[in-house]
Amino acid sequence: MPKVSDAHLAARRDQILAAAARCFARDGFHRTSMQDIVRESGISAGLVYRYFAGKDDMIVAIVTEWHDQRRAPFRADDLIGNYLGLLRSIGDPGRRDDLRLGVQVWAEALRSSQILDLVRSGADGPRADAARALHGMTDLDPDALARVFVAIYQGLVLQTAWDETVDNAAVVDAVAAIVARLLPDSAGEELQ
Amino acid sequence: MPKVSDAHLAARRDQILAAAARCFARDGFHRTSMQDIVRESGISAGLVYRYFAGKDDMIVAIVTEWHDQRRAPFRADDLIGNYLGLLRSIGDPGRRDDLRLGVQVWAEALRSSQILDLVRSGADGPRADAARALHGMTDLDPDALARVFVAIYQGLVLQTAWDETVDNAAVVDAVAAIVARLLPDSAGEELQ
Amino acid sequence: MPKVSDAHLAARRDQILAAAARCFARDGFHRTSMQDIVRESGISAGLVYRYFAGKDDMIVAIVTEWHDQRRAPFRADDLIGNYLGLLRSIGDPGRRDDLRLGVQVWAEALRSSQILDLVRSGADGPRADAARALHGMTDLDPDALARVFVAIYQGLVLQTAWDETVDNAAVVDAVAAIVARLLPDSAGEELQ
Amino acid sequence: MPKVSDAHLAARRDQILAAAARCFARDGFHRTSMQDIVRESGISAGLVYRYFAGKDDMIVAIVTEWHDQRRAPFRADDLIGNYLGLLRSIGDPGRRDDLRLGVQVWAEALRSSQILDLVRSGADGPRADAARALHGMTDLDPDALARVFVAIYQGLVLQTAWDETVDNAAVVDAVAAIVARLLPDSAGEELQ
DNA sequence: AATGAATGAGGATTCATTCAT
DNA sequence: TATGAATGAATCCTCATTCAT
């Protein structure tokens, strides 16, 4: 009976992960010490290790969660609308830490094949979906075009992480206009 | 006191920076120890500290150099040609470490305002130049459009750093086609 | 408050001690964590502390029990037979952990005066008994001879703990022969 | 040129090993912290790790050195004299820590196969030599007899480690007398 | 100029023990 | 009685940096 509820366990885990995410977003993975996370989470060092085998394990958990939250777009039927919505969400002030964390994850993927696999599995699927959808909508290479759209997303994340004053709406409008000219047929039905 | 030539000093400095760049590209800034750099450079620890005040100073030097090498494009008169050339250079296998280092720098810019300033000063100028040049070439917002082109560059760097098998030529072709449709007037004179 | 029977309490205690003995025999006292014992015993950490004040207390309990089981020989009237039986028991495969634990106890006795007292009180009495019995049976110094016989026992324990393939029977035969030559009068009546 | 002499390096290493040996003899391997060794040696933590890869490596070095110092006896032509000299040396007050360390090593050999190999390789050779030499000197099983003599040595080490008041001379005399009766032919030439 | 030995604070992780349930 | 979540001091080890040579 001292065994606490699963909800409590899950909440604790989230508490640690949230604190870790804040730390990682602020200082990067390898300038964040476990003590930092302990302080930020208000949970003792020993307990953190009951939830995560170590720092690396926590990083993997963070990245996994990060990607789980970002799966939706690129998939649905309203591809372009979803994409533009995704771009728009980059401008949400509440997502600042999210963007920063994302950039740290990108860098970490270059060091850790495990992280790279997570990042790729989160990006390759949607990109392939997008490429498939682009078939027939344009005479340009659909795979290349999908890469370009992903690149725009990534670059905008980066620029916004660096500088929150980026005029997101203007960029989204520009991208929408580009899309409209590249895929004129889709404009009527798919643009929001 | 055997005073050595300035050329010798500069060569030493480059030797250290080159070794550091390899280490940083491989392991990131904060998973690279000074010992790693000492080993990789073949230069003693003590001497490294006569060229650089510390690790942070070395990171700044690396980033400064990294941006100095990337200044040219976006400036010249043949803006679009330069841009596409820049994109194309991402596919150069010899630049792999460069791309990886770049991604690490992006992440580090989120931690260090000094690095952020360097990164911004390296990006803002060209982007402003580009925006100015785009004035009159299109009815889209030039600033937003410039951001989009920078984003494409950044995203392509990231995707290529993760996966060297990216079909760079196809992406460059797609971007060229996009540019041609967005800026039809410029096509004749500026596209390579 | 569900007061349980004394038998239950004793069984619990033995369950913990048996698990601890296995752990200690395998890893030594100070490379065995309380968690190891918790795992091995299947009893919760909290409960372990209701039976033992702490790890040191458990070690004392283990050593006490270990010596209680080893008191018989050297005392009885058939001194030599008992001694040889004791040597023979070292070869019993079922006592492997016992031997290993014994060696750990010997080492621990060098650290803890409490353990040393236990070990000595377990050894000094029998040795004195043996010395007394040897009086008149030999012209050698009885105390020294008793020490030699104890040493043979200890060394054989050690060698067998290290290497279970030791030919115990051959060693016991050799010791019996030595005894027979040293104490010829006793041979007829006392050797098994 | 800041590279110090090999003699200095060796002296440093010995300084650390000597301090470690004192600590290990006092507290055992796993109750001695690296900080203890740092304090005892007067050498900084970082430097210790330039000489030894870690605690385990230091233990191995200690055990290796310990056995190197104990190789001589059992080998020479004057087997019995050497053996008795070895027993006698156990009583040397200056070797107290040595004995204590030895007992810790015996216990550690049960945990670490690397230590066990060292211990065995230090003991098996001499024992085999002794057994060979005993062939023809007695009608008892030479291998078993060799084991008994080794056991006497080990047991005497243990008893002396526990209690420095053991009357070593009396025990050595007793053992000499036993040897004289078991191996009467050898008495004249080999006993000291 | 150049070396690399030396430092000690700081890093991740484990552990004996306690306590709310 | 019994649980196991929770603690935080202590452990092993690494690292940026300095300094005698």
Higher-confidence residue: D159 or D135?
D159
pLDDT at A189: 47
For residue B27, CA distances in Å to A55, B37, B67 come to: 16, 11, 20
A110/B82 Cα distance (integer angstroms): 28
Of the candidates A142, A156, A158, the one whose C-alpha atom is nearest the C-alpha of residue A79 is A142
Tell me which residue of B153, B146, B151, B147 sits closest to B131, measured CA to CA. Answer: B146
Q: What is the pLDDT of residue A2?
A: 65
3-state secondary structure of B135: strand
B166 to chain A: which residues are within 8 Å by CB?
147
pLDDT on residue D76: 58
If contacts are CB pairs under 8 Å, which of residues 47-106 in chain B contact chain A? 100, 103-104, 106
- Cβ contact, residue pair B162, A30, below 8 Å: no
Output the CA torsion D88→D90→D92→D98 (10° steps).
150
Please give the average per-residue pLDDT across B25-35, as a whole number.
Answer: 98
Q: Computed from CA positions of residues C148, C149, C154, C157, in that sequence, does the dihedral angle turn out positive or negative?
A: positive
- Tell me how close the Cα of D179 comes to any Cα of chain C, in angstroms: 10
Cα of D106 to nearest chain C Cα, Å? 7
Q: Let me know how many helices (H) and strands (E) chain D has, helices first.
A: 10, 0
Q: What distances in angstroms separate CA B62 from CA A30, B45, C26, D75, one per listed residue?
A: 19, 18, 53, 64
Question: What's the confidence (pLDDT) of residue C68?
Answer: 84
Q: Exposed, middle or buried by CB within 10 Å (0-12, 13-18, 19+), for D111?
A: middle
State pLDDT tens for residues C152-191: 999 999 999 999 999 999 999 999 999 999 988 664 444 4
Q: Which of residues 32-91 of D touch strand E (CB under 7 A)?
A: 43-47, 50
**Backbone dihedral region of C56: left (phi > 0), alpha (psi from -120 to 50 degrees) or beta?**
alpha
**% of chain C surpassing 90 pLDDT:** 76
D141 touches chain C (CB under 8 A): yes
**What is the longest distance spanned by two Cα atoms in chain D?**
65
Q: What is the DSSP string of D140-186?
A: S-HHHHHHHHHHHHHHHHHHHHH-TT--HHHHHHHHHHHHHHHSHHH
Please say whether the beta carbons of C107 and D103 come within 8 A: yes
Structure confidence at residue C62 (pLDDT): 96
Residue C137 pLDDT > 50: yes
pLDDT interval class at D34 (50, 70, 90): very high
DSSP one-letter string for C15-84: HHHHHHHHHHHHH-GGG--HHHHHHHHT--HHHHHHH-SSHHHHHHHHHHHHHHTT-STTTSS-HHHHHH
Chain B residues touching A104 at Cβ < 8 A: 107, 110
Average pLDDT for A77-89: 90
| One-letter amino acid of A91 | G
Q: Average pLDDT in the C62-78 region?
A: 76
Predicted confidence (pLDDT) at residue A188 exceeds the cutoff of 70: no
- Find, among C182, B109, D113, the residue nearest to A161 by Cα: B109
Quote the pLDDT of residue C66.
87
Touching, D vs C (3+ Cβ pairs under 8 A)? yes
Euclidean distance between CA atoms B132 and B115, whole angstroms:
26
Asked whether the predicted pLDDT for residue A187 surpasses 60, the reply is no
Helix, coil or strand: residue C138: strand
Q: Which pLDDT score, from 0 to 100, does residue B75 have?
A: 53
pLDDT confidence of residue B137: 86
Using the structure block, give the residue that is written with the tokens 């049960």: D110
Contacting subunits of C (3+ beta carbon pairs below 8 A): D
Q: What is the largest CA-CA distance in chain C?
A: 66
Q: Closest protein residue to E12 using CA and C1' atoms?
A: A34
A154: nearest CA partner in chain B: B155
Q: How far is the CA of C7 from the C1' of E14 (A)?
A: 35
Round to whole Å and give the CA distance between C97 and C26: 8
Tokens of D163: 């209690």
Q: Please report the pLDDT score of residue D112 as a whole number.
A: 96
Summarize the confidence of residues D88-92 as an average pLDDT: 97
Tell me: pLDDT of A137 over 90: no
Between chains, do A148 and B175 touch, taking CB under 8 Å as contact?
yes
pLDDT value, residue B62? 96
Chain-chain contact of C30 with D26 (C-beta, under 8 angstroms):
no
The least confident of A153-157, B172-176, B179-183 is B179-183
Over residues C61-81, the mean pLDDT reads: 79
Contact call for residues C127 and C146 (beta carbons, < 8 A): yes
| Average pLDDT for chain C | 91
For the entire predicted model, the pTM comes to: 0.92
Distance from CA of A7 to the nearest CA of B (A): 34
Region B113-138 average pLDDT: 90
Write out which nucleotides of chain F lie closer than 7 A to a protein Cβ.
1-21
Q: Out of A140-154, B92-106, C24-38, C124-138, which region has the weakest mean confidence (pLDDT)? A: C124-138
Average the pLDDT over A161-165 and give the result: 96
For chain A, the three-class secondary structure string (H helix, E strand, C coil) is CCCCCHHHHHHHHHHHHHHHHHHHHHHCHHHCCHHHHHHHHCCCHHHHHHHCCCHHHHHHHHHHHHHHCCCCCCCCCCHHHHHHHHHHHHCCHHHHHHHHHHHHHHHHCCCCHHHHHHHHHHHHHHHHHHHHHHECCECCCHHHHHHHHHHHHHHHHHHHHHCCCCCHHHHHHHHHHHHHHHCHHHHHHHCC
Least confident of A185-189, B146-150, C81-85: A185-189
At position A139, the amino acid (one-letter code) is D
Looking at strand E, which nucleotides approach a protein CB closer than 7 A?
Answer: 1-21
Partner-chain residue, chosen from A27, A103, A147, that has the shortest CB–CB distance to B159: A147
Per-residue pLDDT band at B189 (split at 50, 70, 90): very low
What mean pLDDT value characterizes chain B?
Answer: 91
> Tens of pLDDT along A164-181?
999 999 999 999 999 999
Written as six digits, the tokens of A43 are 């949970």
The residue with greater pLDDT, C189 or D124, is: D124
Which tokens in the block code for residue B45? 């620890």
Mean pLDDT computed over D39-62: 97
Are residues A158 and B151, on separate chains, in Cβ contact within 8 Å?
A: yes
Mapping DSSP to helix (H, G, I), strand (E, B) and coil, where does residue B53 land? Answer: coil
Q: Kind and range of the H or E element at C168?
A: helix C168-182
Other Cβ atoms within 10 Å of A113 Cβ, number: 10
What pLDDT digit, counting tens, does each position of A41-72 carry? 999 999 999 999 999 999 999 999 988 887 76
Residue of A nearest to B116 (CA): A162
Å separating the CA of residue A61 from the C1' of nucleotide E7: 37
Neighbours of B1 (CB within 10 A): 3
**Token pair for residue A131?**
């490429």
CB count in 10 Å sphere of residue D71: 11
Of C28, C171, C173, the CB nearest to D107: C28
Q: How confident is the model at residue D189 (pLDDT cuts 50, 70, 90)?
A: very low
In contact, C41 and C19? CB cutoff 8 Å: yes
Sequence-distant (≥ 6) Cβ neighbours of residue C64 within 8 angstroms: C118
pLDDT category of residue D73 using cuts at 50, 70 and 90: low
Q: What is the pLDDT of residue C78?
A: 83
Whether residue D190 is predicted with pLDDT greater than 50 in this model: the reply is no
Is residue B173 over pLDDT 90? yes
Answer whether any strand E atom is within 7 A of the Cβ of C54: yes
pLDDT score of C32 more than 80: yes
Quote the pLDDT of residue A186.
62
Roughly what angle, to the nearest 10 degrees, separates helices D96-109 and D6-27? 80
- Using pLDDT thresholds of 50, 70 and 90, give the confidence band for residue A136: confident
**Per the CB < 8 Å rule, is A110 touching B103?**
yes
Closest protein CA to C1' of nucleotide F1, residue: C2
